[in-house]
Chains A and B, each alone.
Chain A
């Protein structure tokens, strides 16, 4: 027996080496068919059942569970059958040998009749054998493998003689196997089973893919298959590389295990923002700052790139640099430095066009990323505010599996117990609104107070900005540090203290904590928004002032030039022409740089305030509580100050508004994204340290809303609101005549017009100008409005269908009880 099987192995090896040899293939075909015929009867039913089960399992999700049970049973059966099979294969090999001299007439018929079902099922049978025998004896394994190969060699010939439908079916089978491989990760099977299935399916696909490639278009098919494989490998390597690049994974894990998922969600959000800012930084740095620095005219060559003579003395002072004046102002960091030359350097880089497009591109990219993330989140999250599964959810989803710290775990146990007790209490006693009028009155009063607060802060900011304008007119040196930085300090301080005030006021309202949190967030949002817009309005005033100044300066410059001309003419005309130092040329005011500077200063002071609050509010407090506790009358740790908790929502809001300021100012100060990257980097480390060192886990965890999309939606709103002022200024205000890449044009977006006319072929601009014809634009807008209406009505109908189904479910529930 052993000898004969050994001989067979040899034969098969030779066969494998020379697949396309006609005689041997025919022999194999015969052998394989005989073997199949002898076994087909026994195995067919079982295999069919298995095959069908497998296919059904792939399609129905809910049945996966029972599927897996069934298949485990199958595996056990397989294991039992295997021992029997080993003996049988050896017998069959002998049988085949004796049958070598059989006829070939009946071949074609049998093949066609049994081809579809049987070779598929026999294949699987063999695969089952093969796959299941991981730890089996080598010889038997090899024997089976070679049988596979023989069969596959036979199949290779098959497609030429198979009808197109069978080819199609084969292709379908291959595709299904491929899909199975793709979806293997998500199957609830044990790992061993997954590995087995994987190997089987891969072998099946490999053999048949080659086979399917025969006949017409074989080369193309094989090429496509190879490219697909290469692509998959590339994708996998790229995924590996991407996960290796994700920073701070261990830090976040530590925070998760100590504080749970809600605090960690802030840091994950921070990391995501960091990623976005990196991309924005890449765009502005690579396409705007670097080309101008490398290929543009150097510092000092033209008036706009030079520090004016009057300021030269103080241009390097730290105080001036900290304020982003002096050398910092006349550098690539701000709008005013850029030259309006159409093409710079030997690459003929279109600088003004690039500046404009990068500005638009940053906003477009941000929109795309935020909306894509929202869409992804919307798929995952549930309905959220449904109260119909209160107790079930508390039982099954309240434990946070990320917790790894004993103290946090204790806290979590306590909070879960409290939450259960509260829910039980609510369930047992009916809710009586005793004294609804008092509650309502108190709530109205609270809202009124909040409105007063908001109005007050808005007015304060406006007042302060006006005052700072007055100071600027007097000259900066005559005022103290506070007066110079008043605006930024006031805005930051308001941002710090008003939320606390809102918190106190909300004690009047007596809402459920989740609702109270939502009100709080809404008010803080309104506060920040109000402050920001007041700031912008005050800025607009300054811009208008500067534009007035421009007219005067223009007049002055013409007189200055005239005097210069007169003086040169009056001198000896053969004398050397007087070269004017760029620093001495009278400069026009540059409102864009001023706007950029204001934003940069605002962000710096905001950052400083945040860090100082962190150090004092959290760190110092923790130190005091820890060390003064020994000599204090009451227990500081349990009583009044105690350790602070990490305020997730406040921090997230701060982050969102910071990003809004970046979006607003990035057009006028290309250095802002770079600054923000630095800021976020430092924030991450500082806050991680502060959280681990000074904060305690929260006692009651209330998320602001069910889905992650709450903060994303706020981000989207801020994005929209912050790009509005920038767009307004771009579209309505003419650029300064003396600075920036758009100087000399009537409107900033004229650069697009210019590019279209000069750089593109003539028909292009014709197409564009005809496209911007109102006759085309209006119908297009109408079409979009109709599309929106249609989509909205379909979504409404889906929602209604949902409600109907829910009702039906409820009635069914009632009936069965």
Chain B
């Protein structure tokens, strides 16, 4: 220990370690990644909590995110203003929630938020349609898309309101075998 880094105070690093799944070294590395997105905007010294936000357009250029069809939604979900401009806190939070050691429950909550495009706390058919189009890059015909959306709602909807509430979603995802291994970003 005893690094001579001046980016964060020890207190801040301890607080980050308590609030995320990252170790000290990883937090510092994340800061490096955050900074290289916008070096002129992000200061090196974070000891007095500067209020800096990196815009969405820069964040989605990160190699971990740039091929992901849901990258805009992911960044928007973790941003405070809902428009995808992340402060460093949000940035760390995003990668912590999506990291390997993050528990299933936490990932489920955030997955629900990500797939809920219109942010009404329900995944309605419109949200499903958008998800599907992003997943298949528009290769499916509209009838096929409608069919899949209807089937998905039919399978998972428990309370009969033809949209997925959080408990429906959670019930469905908890049994999915690939969810944990696929819904994870390594940084």
Residues of A within 8 A of B (CB): 61-62, 64-65, 134-135, 181, 184-188, 190-192, 194-195, 198-199, 236-237, 239-240, 243-244, 252-253, 256-257, 261, 265, 380-384, 386, 388-406, 408-409, 413, 416-417, 420-421, 423-424, 427, 703, 706-707, 809, 812-813, 816-817
Contact = CB atoms under 8 A, between A and B. Distances in A.
Contacts of B167: 62
Contact of B68 (A244, A401, A707): A401
Contacts of A380: 104, 180
A185 B172 contact: no
A413 B136 contact: yes
A396 B158 contact: no
Contacts of A421: 140, 144
A127 to B, nearest CB: 16
A710 to B, nearest CB: 11
Contacts of B37: none
A817 B158 CA distance: 9
B103 A186 contact: yes
A399 B114 CA distance: 13
A395 B182 CA distance: 12
B133 to A, nearest CB: 11
B135 A399 contact: yes
Given A240-B24, A417-B140, A397 B173 contact: yes
Given A185-B18, A398-B135, A424-B144, A253 B186 contact: yes
A406 B63 CA distance: 10
Contacts of A424: 144, 147-148
A815 B109 CA distance: 28
12 contacts: A195-B15, A244-B25, A253-B186, A382-B174, A384-B177, A386-B175, A392-B155, A392-B156, A393-B178, A401-B68, A403-B67, A707-B177
Given A185-B18, A382-B174, A401 B109 contact: no
Given A191-B92, A389-B156, A397 B24 contact: no
Contacts of B23: 239-240, 243-244
A135 B48 CA distance: 10
Contacts of A198: 15, 18-19
Contacts of A239: 23
A380 B184 CA distance: 14
B151 A391 contact: yes
Nearest to B70: A399
A662 B24 CA distance: 38
Contact of B63 (A199, A404, A413, A427): A404
A707 to B, nearest CB: 6
A444 to B, nearest CB: 31
A191 B89 contact: yes
Contacts of B157: 813
Contacts of B121: 65
B91 to A, nearest CB: 9
Contacts of A253: 186
B148 to A, nearest CB: 6
Nearest to B103: A186
B18 A181 contact: yes
Contact of B170 (A62, A240, A394): A62
A188 B110 contact: yes
Contacts of A199: 15
A434 B137 CA distance: 35
A394 B178 CA distance: 10
Which of B121, B181, B184 is packed against the most chain A CB atoms within 10 Å? B181
A265 B181 contact: yes
B126 interface: no
Contact of B20 (A185, A399, A400): A185
Q: Which of B15, B20, B21, B177 has the most CB of A within 10 A?
A: B177
Contacts of A402: 182, 184-186
Interface in B109-131: 109-112, 115, 121, 128, 131
A257 B157 CA distance: 33
Nearest to B67: A409
A389 B155 contact: yes
Contacts of B17: 236
A816 B159 contact: yes
A153 B58 CA distance: 50
A397 B1 contact: no
Q: Quick one: which of B132, B140, B174, B182 has the most chain A CB within 10 A?
A: B182
A249 to B, nearest CB: 8
Contacts of A417: 136-137, 139-140
List the 5 closest pairs (A to B, CB-CB), nearest first. A816-B160, A706-B177, A191-B89, A409-B67, A191-B93
A809 B175 CA distance: 14
B136 A391 contact: no
Given A192-B89, A424-B147, A427-B147, A392 B184 contact: no
A58 to B, nearest CB: 13
Contacts of A188: 97, 106, 109-110
A261 B182 contact: yes
A589 to B, nearest CB: 52
B73 to A, nearest CB: 12
Nearest to A190: B80
Contact of B155 (A181, A195, A388, A397): A388
A401 B137 contact: no
Nearest to A403: B67
A420 B157 CA distance: 20
B175 A383 contact: yes
B66 to A, nearest CB: 7
B69 interface: yes
A395 B144 CA distance: 13
Contacts of B49: 134-135
A532 B167 CA distance: 51
B99 to A, nearest CB: 10
Given A191-B92, A405-B67, A413 B173 contact: no
Contacts of A190: 80, 89-90, 93
A392 B159 contact: no
A423 B173 CA distance: 19
B121 to A, nearest CB: 8
A420 B67 contact: no
Given A186-B103, A195-B15, A240-B25, A403 B155 contact: no
A243 B29 CA distance: 13
B117 to A, nearest CB: 13
A404 B69 CA distance: 11
B26 interface: yes
B15 A406 contact: no
Contacts of B69: 399, 413
Contacts of A191: 19-20, 89-90, 92-93
Contacts of A395: 128, 131-132, 135, 148, 152
A365 to B, nearest CB: 24
Contacts of B104: 380
Contacts of B135: 395, 398-399, 413, 416
